[in-house]
């Protein structure tokens, strides 16, 4: 009975498939030349072929990868590498890739190689920047099951290494699992969490699925084809081809997309292996070199972590893409929060404070809320007034900005839905000013601090902004806040100092109210 339950999920997948490809029945012959397969290019003209390649590779055209790409950091390329290389070069290089998977060369593979190395270079370089983060995850899971490590290139053609990739057919994540296939392989999918987007759990599920497929076909190219279109479509192709169990012999009996899928995989393996030979260089990513996880036992919003620990919210989302609404729905079971290694210790020290921070806002009455109740409505524009914008600068405060624009602080908070006077550098504020003074107030955004203070009759003393090298009081240490600092991390730098003592000594009432460049007094240890 136990064996039946293990086999049943795979039988269901074979019946209904996991693929996204359409069925086609057109057939033709294949030509062979010295063990190198050559597909007849007359049957499918090059323009149509390239259209099909672009269609298959629409996921490579991800406008924004899991991280921001800075293409200016990539060296210029030699123009000679933007031309087709002799087939003999490709054949020799593919033959040198040591793998149980047969990396053959043909016209289809060449078209994909040229697409990757010539026509889509910027996107490939983006993937190269992400591979150092994702490939070790794939390799570890494949190695644990003694499977070819080269299968790590499947997510390259599936999702462009974007864990948030979502296809029109409903496939999701790095490995592009369909909903029912993901559920059958143990992935949790609900309103708050989609483990198809979890790089670690989806990889374990994908490797399990690939292993099951290999137990059926005992041929890696057929396994890769079945991963794309489902075992049901591969089995139909085998029957229509007279029982042949060779990918290239059932090629034209497969769905059109799957015909290109295996050549695309071979070309992706070639491109990633020989990227330097084509002067393809990784675009740096924001993903950390080392991460660790903390098990969360109570509901937690990523914004609680971001705001209290001063960690970029997009950074947290990139490391935890499985949380669909930025909520970790812990309670009945624990869920992992992945952080860069440098933040883990700080989180452990601050854990209670993180849970408590703005808890009623994110979890009113202790409940998970899919769409929090709307508490902000656009203000009614006062008659005779017009909207101007101001971008918050370093050193700005709500009170100062209100004085510069001659408005009440309560109005400024209301217009911008500001709570507890919390503003951030780079934030754009809406301010309503008299229509006959719009041009005057528009200039405020580009003024210096001294010029803005002059508008309200205050002068900025040069002595007050000059930095003193020596502290005035020898009983204290003076520490200048750096980017990324928080009170917990600063306190840890000094023996016997706590974040509470720093707050009391510097009249700080809100842990978030420190900024780079601010000087803090630290009591010397007696």
Bridge-based pairing of strands 327-328 and 300-301 is antiparallel
Tokens of 5: 């339950």
Token pair 């842990």: residue: 511
HSE-CB at 314 with a 13 A cutoff on CA atoms is 8
Helix (H, G, I), strand (E, B) or coil at 31: strand
The token pair that represents 131 in the structure block: 């591979």
Among residues 132, 104, 138, which one has the least CA distance to residue 270? 104
User: What is the end-to-end Cα distance of the chain in Å, rounded?
Assistant: 73
Active site residue 195: no
C-alpha to C-alpha distances, 477 to 501, 516, 519, nearest whole angstrom: 13, 17, 10
Contact predicate 523/475, CB 8 Å = yes
For residue 284, how many other CB atoms are within 10 A of its CB?
A: 13
Q: CA 94 to CA 97: how far, in whole Å?
A: 5
**Torsion angle, CA of 226/227/230/233, rounded to 10 degrees?**
-30
N residues, the chain? 526
Q: Which of 145, 210, 146 is nearest to 175 (CA)?
A: 210
Question: How far out from the chain centre does Cα 329 lie?
Answer: 20
Q: Are 270 and 113 in contact (CB under 8 A)?
A: yes
Contact of 263 with 59, CB cutoff 8 Å: no
Q: What one-character DSSP code corresponds to residue 1?
A: -
Angstrom distances, CA of residue 350 to CA of 290, 345, 499: 21, 9, 11
Separation CA 297–CA 195 (nearest Å): 18
**Judging by beta carbons within 10 Å of its beta carbon (0-12, 13-18, 19+), is residue 77 exposed, middle or buried?**
middle
Structure tokens at 323: 């949380």
Write the DSSP symbol of residue 23. P
Of the listed 114, 139, 150, 158, which one is catalytic?
158
Catalytic residues: 158
């Amino acid at each position: 009975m136990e064996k039946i339950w293990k086999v049943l999920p795979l039988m269901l997948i074979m019946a209904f498939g996991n693929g996204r490809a359409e069925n086609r029945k057109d057939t033709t012959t294949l030509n062979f030349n010295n063990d190198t397969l050559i597909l007849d290019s007359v049957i499918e003209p090059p323009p149509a072929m390239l259209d099909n390649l672009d269609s298959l590779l629409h996921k490579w055209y991800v406008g924004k990868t899991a991280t921001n790409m800075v293409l200016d950091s990539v060296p210029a390329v030699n123009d000679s590498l933007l031309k087709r290389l002799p087939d003999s070069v490709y054949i020799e290089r593919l033959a040198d890739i040591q793998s149980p998977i047969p990396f053959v060369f043909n016209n289809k593979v060449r078209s994909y190689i040229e697409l990757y190395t010539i026509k889509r270079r910027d996107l490939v370089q983006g993937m190269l920047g992400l591979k150092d983060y994702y490939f070790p995850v794939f390799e570890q899971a494949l190695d644990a099951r003694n499977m070819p490590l080269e299968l790590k290139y499947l997510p390259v053609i599936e999702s462009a290494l974007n864990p948030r990739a979502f296809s029109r057919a409903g496939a999701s994540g790095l490995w592009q699992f369909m909903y029912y296939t993901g559920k059958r392989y143990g992935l949790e999918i609900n309103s708050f969490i989609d483990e198809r987007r979890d790089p670690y759990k989806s990889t374990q599920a994908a490797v399990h699925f690939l292993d099951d497929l290999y137990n059926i076909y005992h041929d890696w190219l057929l396994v890769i084809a079945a991963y794309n279109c489902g075992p049901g479509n591969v089995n139909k192709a085998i029957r229509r081809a007279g029982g042949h169990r060779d990918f290239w012999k059932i090629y034209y009996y497969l769905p059109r997309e799957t015909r290109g899928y295996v050549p695309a995989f071979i070309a992706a393996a070639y491109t990633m292996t020989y990227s330097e030979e084509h002067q393809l260089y990784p675009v740096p990513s924001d993903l950390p070199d080392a991460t660790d996880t903390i098990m969360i036992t109570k509901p937690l919003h990523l914004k609680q972590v971001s705001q209290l620990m001063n960690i970029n919210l997009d950074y947290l989302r990139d490391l935890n893409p499985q949380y669909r609404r930025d909520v970790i729905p812990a309670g009945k079971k624990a869920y992992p929060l992945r952080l860069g290694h440098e933040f883990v210790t700080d989180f452990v020290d601050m854990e209670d404070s993180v849970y408590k921070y703005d808890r009623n806002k994110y979890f009113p009455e202790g409940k998970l809320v899919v769409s929090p109740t709307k508490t902000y409505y656009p203000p009614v524009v006062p008659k005779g007034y017009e909207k101007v914008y101001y971008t918050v600068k370093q050193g700005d405060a709500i009170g100062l900005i209100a004085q510069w624009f001659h408005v009440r602080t309560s109005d400024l908070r209301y217009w911008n839905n500001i709570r507890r006077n919390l503003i951030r550098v780079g934030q754009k504020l809406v301010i309503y000013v008299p229509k006959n003074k719009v041009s005057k107030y528009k200039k405020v955004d580009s003024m210096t601090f001294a010029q803005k203070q002059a508008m309200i009759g205050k002068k900025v003393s040069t002595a007050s902004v000059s930095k003193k090298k020596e502290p005035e009081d020898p009983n204290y240490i003076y520490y200048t806040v750096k980017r990324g600092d928080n009170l917990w991390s600063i306190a840890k730098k000094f023996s016997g100092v706590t974040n509470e003592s720093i707050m009391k000594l510097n009249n700080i009432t809100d842990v978030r109210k420190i900024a780079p460049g601010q000087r803090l007094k630290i009591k010397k240890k007696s």
